Amino acid sequence: MDRESITPGLNKDGVERKATVSNEVEDSEKLKGALACKELENGGLKDNKYTGEDSGTDVSQDPTNITGTVTTRDHGTGNGKVIPIELTEDLKQLGIVANFIFDKRSKLLILSLNHKYKKKTVVSPVFQSDWLKTTEKFKDQMTSKGVTEDHADMICDIVDYNYEKILDITGNANKINDDDDQQKRKQKVSIRKYTCNGTLGLYECVVIAGQSSFLHFEDYKPQYTPTIESADKIFSPSDTANTQNPIPYIFGSTEELQKYLDLASKETFETLHYKVESLYKKYVNAEEYYIVILAADTIYSYFQDRFGTTHYNIFVGDNGSGKNSALLVYRHLGYRVFYVTAASAANYYTFMGDTEEGQGTTAEDEADDIGYDRDKQKILKTGYCSGGFVPKVDLPSGGGRRQDSWLTYCHKWMAMESLPDYKKIKGILDRSFVYNFVAGDVPYNIKNVVKYAGDPKVKPLYDELAHIRKLLFAFRILHYSDIIPDIKLNIMHRSEELTKPILRLFRYQNNSPTALEKIRLALSRFIERRNDLKRNSIESKLRDAINNLAEERKKNPDLEKYVSLEEYSFYNEDIFAEVRSVTNGSDVPFKPASFYTVDFGLLSHKFITGLYRSKFNAKPFKIGSGNETKRGLKFSKDVLDNLGKYYYDVPDEIIIIEPSETQSQSNNEGHDSSEYDSPNSTQKPNSDSIQTATDATDATHNMEGKGMG
């Protein structure tokens, strides 16, 4: 299969560009120093990167404008945070130094060597109270990088010559102190990913060679930033090498990260879905279409923040059914998965924060409390849609009141032994796909793999999990800024909101037809189940009751009880009797105003009237007075017809309505769309059709050859 070059973003004219990831990477030993300053690359700064020039030109940007900078610093002047160290004529003639600066904030000497020393970077601390230690340490760092004694002495002489400027004893201390005071007043915020709500490129927290930083792309090359500053906040990486939950993205070196970027540039959604699906089959026993969506959702989790809605996955099953194994596989493959058991609402708020949504995804075991924990219900009901939040009032120690808005949007997985009462979680179920797990055999136990105790036979399985996780992360980095055109589906409302994002994601590159077809058919199975639930819901039964009364009235319009009533108006006693009939209700002793149903439990007249008024827009009326008073409800034919379309006139199979050929070519320029320009199959989605698509994928990958690369 031909694979396109990666497209990490757009050029300055807003035109989509392609670029392969550069194989040029910094020496891993540079990383600790590179994290202390802004974007070191080949000893220069360009567009807010070190240039290697010795001029004192101020190239800083407005420090209040976060959209223009990552860290707001003044470059090139002695009064700024970065001081250029001027070279002697002898060193300039030797041509061994590309750039030499002192970073005041990190108190580091940063020396970028030229090609004669393989463009290495030397980073060394400045000790304010021990200048001799400063120069000795700097010389040791240079010689460890292969710099000769003579050249090291010449460079140390320059450092000695500039000691006043470096130690800031020339009268600039007050300005720096003022700046430092301003920095101290800024709120310190730990964060896992940042885009300034879409106004910047993607900054992802990574741990490389034990050091935390933000990874981002600039000029189609990976860059590393220790902090991100705005006018009032300083953002620092949340993850460290010791972070446990969610699992951080750890790379041994920049070379390893570059390797994964190169590998990811050769992947498509098709190839990734095959690999992830194969992993789930090793550890999870479930129906074929379950596995298809679990694999697709794992990939989708890395792009959740590109879309306005998401769906939830709810796993239901007895102990040993495998639902927890599915959560564990997701924990080790999905995007920044916050894996918890019986989490509280406060746990969710702390994880998702109040700065930028989509900080990760969640996987909660023993989530049965969603039926009665009202705070968690608020999170789940608002968190399927981008922009959702729950306000909370805080009482600071200094007095007063402060209102915070805690973000709730992210992809969520939950597992429980049984579903709570339908009436209590109806809103959550409406945002979810429900998976029923039954105990079965699997090739491997995921719990024995993630802690393999050094067993050499199991280690390859663990390495495979770690490999695919890093590959998915690199794929996100490369494709996060891709344009993902909208698509039109034959379904509407909540069903469209829950399914369209994942279909758009697998559709937009036009190079993953088999995976897309499997996902479309699998989602159709879930939509069919949702439609069955709607058709058998209490609201649907209430509509059926009114339709039955309307049909009876058409057949017998001259009955006395209809003479004084407007069209689609019915007395309460007739409504309750018909509702009881369509729900197969039975009497409840000592409760004449209620009846019991197997499907919906106890239904009272008050409850039924409330549903009719709130969801059917029924208007109450009263006829007569005193003991002759009769009450009823008046309905609208238009409302009843619309509800009929919502509950019954809905397709069970999802169809992607293809755009025109011109629009398709415009939205996907550079991709071969010939593989998938035909309309979707209209066959009924079932396990056979999904298996056929699976067999096609397996055959394709068998021809290409299997492997982890």
Judged against a pLDDT cut of 90, whether residue 199 lies above it is answered with: no
Per-residue pLDDT band for 178 (boundaries 50, 70, 90) equals low
pLDDT tens digits along 323-335: 999 999 999 999 9
State the average pLDDT over residues 311-326. Answer: 95
State the average pLDDT over residues 332-360. Answer: 95
Judged against a pLDDT cut of 90, whether residue 381 lies above it is answered with: yes
pLDDT of residue 688: 55
Name the least confident of 432-446, 554-568, 576-590.
554-568
Handedness of CA 666, 672, 673, 674 (dihedral sign): positive
Per-residue pLDDT band for 445 (boundaries 50, 70, 90) equals very high
CA angle 641, 643, 646 (to 5 degrees): 115
Q: What residue segments make up the domains of the chain, in order of their start?
A: 28-237, 269-533+653-704, 538-647
Judged against a pLDDT cut of 60, whether residue 463 lies above it is answered with: yes
Judged against a pLDDT cut of 60, whether residue 38 lies above it is answered with: no
Judged against a pLDDT cut of 80, whether residue 583 lies above it is answered with: yes
Q: Are 287 and 437 in contact (CB under 8 A)?
A: no
Q: Are 103 and 82 in contact (CB under 8 A)?
A: yes
Phi and psi, residue 633, nearest 5°: -130, 140
Per-residue pLDDT band for 520 (boundaries 50, 70, 90) equals very high
State the average pLDDT over residues 579-598. Answer: 95
For the chain, give the mean pLDDT: 82
Q: Are 621 and 612 in contact (CB under 8 A)?
A: no
DSSP 36: T
Judged against a pLDDT cut of 60, whether residue 374 lies above it is answered with: yes
Instruction: Take residue 440 and report the two structure tokens written for it.
Output: 């079965």
Name the least confident of 5-9, 328-332, 369-373, 483-487.
5-9
Q: Measuring CA to CA, which residue among 515, 517, 510 is closest to residue 669?
A: 510
* Top-confidence range, 35-44, 56-65, 77-86, 349-358: 349-358
Per-residue pLDDT band for 282 (boundaries 50, 70, 90) equals very high
Name the least confident of 232-236, 400-404, 449-453, 702-706.
702-706
More confident: 283 or 648: 283
More confident: 680 or 472: 472
Per-residue pLDDT band for 2 (boundaries 50, 70, 90) equals very low
Q: Measuring CA to CA, which residue among 348, 417, 339 is closest to residue 378?
A: 348
Q: How far is CA 221 from the centre of its chain?
A: 23
* Top-confidence range, 130-139, 309-318, 561-570: 309-318
pLDDT tens digits along 622-675: 998 888 889 999 999 999 999 988 888 888 899 999 866 435 444 444 344 333
DSSP H helices, 119-235, are: 131-144, 149-161, 163-167, 173-185
Q: 595: part of which helix (H) or strand (E)?
A: strand 594-597
Judged against a pLDDT cut of 70, whether residue 1 lies above it is answered with: no
* Residue that has been written with the tokens 């030993």 in this structure: 29
Query: What percentage of the chain carries pLDDT values higher than 70?
Result: 79
Judged against a pLDDT cut of 70, whether residue 441 lies above it is answered with: yes
pTM of the model: 0.70
